[in-house]
Amino acid sequence: MPVLLPLPLAGAYDYAVPEAMEVAAGAVVTVPLGPRLVHGVVWHGTAAGTVSAAKLRAIASVVPTPPLKPALMRFIDWVADYTLSAPGEVLRMALPVPAATEVPRPRVGWRLVEAPAEGARITAERARVLEVLRGAPGLVWTGSDLARAAGVTPGVLRGMAQAGLIAPAPMAGLADQPLRADAAAPALTPAQAGAAASLRHAVAAGGFGVTLLDGVTGSGKTEVYLEAVAAAIAHGRQALVLLPEIALSAQVIDRFTARFGAPPAVWHSEVAGARRRATWRAVAEGRAPIVVGARSALWLNFAALGLIVVDEEHETAFKQEDGVTYHARDMAVVRARLERVPCVLVSATPSLETLANVERGRYARLHLPERHGAAGMPEVAAIDLRRTPPPRGRFLAPPLVAAIEETLSRGEQALLFLNRRGFAPLTLCRACGHRFQCPNCTAWLVEHRYTRTLQCHHCGHTEAAPQTCPACGAEGSLTAIGPGVERVAEEARALFPAARVLEMSSDTVRGAHSAAAMAAMIENREIDLIVGTQLVAKGWHFPHLTLVGVVDADLGLAGGDLRAAERTFQVLHQVGGRAGRAAQAGRVLLQTWNPGHPVMRALVSGEVERFVTEEMAERRAGGWPPFGRLVAVIVSAGEAAVADAAAAALRRAAPAGERFVVLGPAPAPLAVLRGMHRRRLLLKAAREVDVQALMRDWLAAAEVPRAARIDVDVDPVSFV
Ligand code: ADP
Ligand code: ZN
């Protein structure tokens, strides 16, 4: 029988089935491989190599875990084929060991006690815990869910147990979570209700179809797709909701909890140990009706999938760049097709890929025209830095400073956005001009002032920030060039000494808990001014935030990436969408040296359609995606000469034809990364070209030195 191993091998290996063992396709088994026993899955089709029956080794055991569903196996084959990966590498994502192979131990959670101990002290924190528990009587909460929902530390729960206020209770699995499809549905506006009805119908009818759900930030898209999720669970099916940065999505998960009366199953890389095992199994056994997850959740073994939702579908975080390179949004559509279920793509700023599919009539579109309730769209204005530049060595222009002052004096909150970590992106010696560069990468070192270090944001190289120039020995000559969030926060603290400033970047926000804690501080108005990277652009809802200042609106436009304009528009629109989401009107100020740029004009005028039309026209004229296909080939080697030789070999073997062209090789923008020399080639083809077949022939024909490594990226998103 063919057994696929989660290893980078060409295909499945053949194994004998011992007498008295019963196995079918999909079964998880252990098999001998060399001297070891490894996990694998009995595959469909035939094995790659043939071995004489006498030499065939036998399957060692069948693992007592749910077999992989046929649709998931087809999905694995499909993705391997599309991304030009080994099927076993794709399987590794669907068969996380040990989560998928070990029997989860019963877990213990918390519940209310029937007769609470009298005289126990009820602090504000304890009261919140009791309120959460009373909100869903009979429900057993995991410690971390309960602590998060109540905004307390796990220590508070232990204290309450000792005081006899709550009691431990077994959780056999997620099946015990009694989700209610009708728990807390709000009254929808007519536009929302229309969209929701349409999605409910698609879910009830079943079958494959893709719908784009778009509408400005705050228009109720989440509210609408929750209705589709409700429809799925009402029909006894599972719903998968993919979020780009799930670890930071506490607010969204809380909305699921509020809407359905119990927390959803959550799946991402931070979910570990017993919880990971329990979740994998609950999904495979159909006991987890709702899964909210990162792109890796796409690989779960759903027992009865009924719906896939991809929220913020335009986000580049859905593209996995290492290992198997795949785009989770695109592969979500593929999985939905193989599972014959509807797929909903959600965004305020849909990708051009998705909009092109709407234009071609392949995707349906549901549009929500306006913000919910009293909230209007924020007013967007550009601050022309040529006319009103910030004072020397500072980064906030006078009009922005004035607006922050005004906002704070009204007791409202402001957000300063700069998509750059650290204090300064470049350090320079004023005496000799020396610049600090990473020893492993073609990149400047970024100063991080709190940790007094210089860091490479590509490879993680870190060194202590020196006092003297290592090149010329001058003292006190090192100068920070340009701003990062740390520097803007420093400037803000100096300008507004009374304001409580919070910095949010991946240096200060460490995982789900710290993100949730910061969000709670903002909601509780313990913060006046937030300074943050793209981490703050995501779906947060802060009712008292009324001003968003973009420190460097031009930042993303540099570099000439194919999608630079589209992406800048998306991220600035998204971060601007944080302003004025409740009663008070919001305002967005963009600091720019180029207010005439189409992206700035579109943001200021709100003429989204026009921007999209112009951008589409440019892509169409150039034959770029979504009107053409790209496959990137990245050659890397420890020595530059080897990288060059490999790139030249690929060039010589490059296919030629009418409908496609091979560009390059050229040094990658990050010509050296982690000590590896990198060269890039790009296959650019018309949409109807079978690029996978072309690539396979090409790679087979090229005589590449063994010391070079070749990575293939189908539909590349990053070009560094
Ligand atoms: P989007 O996903 O489009 O950004 P949300 O679904 O997050 O929008 O809605 C924005 C805010 O408005 C949320 O706080 C949401 O709960 C609220 N909201 C949206 N629609 C309704 C409704 N029909 N009734 C009550 N509140 C609503
Ligand atoms: Zn580096």
Give me the amino acid identity at 445.
Answer: L
| Helix, strand, coil fractions of the chain, as percent rounded to 5 | 35, 25, 45
Q: DSSP for 325-360, please give it.
A: -EEHHHHHHHHHHHHT-EEEEEESS--HHHHHHHHT
CA distance 444 to 568: 23
Hey, how many other C-beta atoms are within 10 angstroms of the C-beta on 621? Answer: 9
Q: DSSP for 662-677, please give it.
A: EEEEEEEEEEEETTEE
Cα 403-404-405 angle, rounded to 5 deg: 90
Ligand 1 near 367 CB (within 6 A): no
Ligand 1 near 312 CB (within 6 A): no
Q: Which protein residue's CA is at the shortest distance from atom 23 of ligand 1? A: 188
Q: How far apart are the two ends of the chain, measured CA to CA in Å? A: 43
The 3-state DSSP class for residue 79 equals helix
The number of the ligand 1 atom at minimal distance from the alpha carbon of 539 is: 4
CA distance 400 to 417: 12
Nearest to 414 by CA among 579, 551, 605, 249: 579
Displacement of CA 599 from its chain's centroid (Å): 24
Hey, how many other C-beta atoms are within 10 angstroms of the C-beta on 679? Answer: 25
Hey, how many other C-beta atoms are within 10 angstroms of the C-beta on 168? Answer: 13
Ligand 1 near 541 CB (within 6 A): yes
Ligand 1 near 223 CB (within 6 A): yes
What per-residue confidence (pLDDT) applies to 177?
A: 57
- Closest ligand to C-alpha of residue 461 is 2
Cβ contacts of residue 255 below 8 Å, gap of 6+? 222, 226
Ligand 1 near 221 CB (within 6 A): yes
What per-residue confidence (pLDDT) applies to 231?
A: 96
- Average pLDDT taken over every residue of the chain: 92
The number of the ligand 1 atom at minimal distance from the alpha carbon of 577 is: 4
What per-residue confidence (pLDDT) applies to 395?
A: 98
Ligand 1 near 222 CB (within 6 A): yes
Ligand 1 near 217 CB (within 6 A): yes
Ligand 1 near 483 CB (within 6 A): no
Hey, how many other C-beta atoms are within 10 angstroms of the C-beta on 598? Answer: 16
Q: Which protein residue's CA is at the shortest distance from atom 19 of ligand 1? A: 220
Examine residue 6 and say whether the peptide bond preceding it is cis (omega within 30 degrees of 0): no
Q: Could you tell me the two tokens for 649?
A: 């070999």
Phi-psi region at 646: left, alpha or beta (left = phi > 0; alpha = psi -120 to 50): alpha
Hey, how many other C-beta atoms are within 10 angstroms of the C-beta on 495? Answer: 14
Distance 214 CA to ligand 1 centre (A): 13
Ligand 1 near 186 CB (within 6 A): yes
> How many helices (DSSP H) and strands (DSSP E) are in the chain?
19, 31
Distance 402 CA to ligand 1 centre (A): 31
Q: pTM of the entire structure?
A: 0.89
Nearest to 214 by CA among 366, 372, 363: 366
275-313 pLDDT, tens per residue? 899 899 999 999 899 999 999 999 999 999 999 999 999
Examine residue 626 and say whether the peptide bond preceding it is cis (omega within 30 degrees of 0): yes
Low-confidence ranges of the chain (pLDDT < 70): 48-51, 106, 171-178, 181-183, 247-248
Phi and psi dihedrals of 415, rounded to 5? -130, 130
What per-residue confidence (pLDDT) applies to 50?
A: 65
What per-residue confidence (pLDDT) applies to 176?
A: 47
Ligand 1 near 684 CB (within 6 A): no
What per-residue confidence (pLDDT) applies to 7?
A: 95
Q: DSSP for 129-159, please give it.
A: HHHHHHHSTTPPBPHHHHHHHHT--HHHHHH
DSSP letter for 247, please. Answer: G
Cβ proximity of 611 and 686 under 8 Å: no
Cβ proximity of 220 and 372 under 8 Å: yes
Phi and psi dihedrals of 156, rounded to 5? -60, -40
CA distances 27 to 6, 12, 87, 266, Å, are 14, 14, 16, 25
Longest pairwise C-alpha distance within the chain:
84
Examine residue 116 and say whether the peptide bond preceding it is cis (omega within 30 degrees of 0): no
Nearest to 718 by CA among 568, 562, 538: 562
CA distance 553 to 106: 51
CA distance 609 to 621: 18
Hey, how many other C-beta atoms are within 10 angstroms of the C-beta on 308? Answer: 27
Cβ proximity of 501 and 526 under 8 Å: no
The number of the ligand 1 atom at minimal distance from the alpha carbon of 192 is: 23
Hey, how many other C-beta atoms are within 10 angstroms of the C-beta on 26? Answer: 17
Give me the amino acid identity at 563.
Answer: R
Distance 443 CA to ligand 2 centre (A): 6
Distance 56 CA to ligand 1 centre (A): 60
The number of the ligand 1 atom at minimal distance from the alpha carbon of 224 is: 6
CA distance 212 to 716: 22
DSSP letter for 248, please. Answer: G
Q: DSSP for 420-446, please give it.
A: --SSBSEEEETTT--B-B-SSSSSBPE
CA distance 521 to 525: 6
Cα 164-141-248 angle, rounded to 5 deg: 125
The number of the ligand 1 atom at minimal distance from the alpha carbon of 217 is: 4
Ligand 1 near 192 CB (within 6 A): yes
What per-residue confidence (pLDDT) applies to 660?
A: 97
Cβ contacts of residue 386 below 8 Å, gap of 6+? 593
CA distance 473 to 644: 37
Query: For residue 257, what is the enclosing H or E element?
Result: helix 250-260
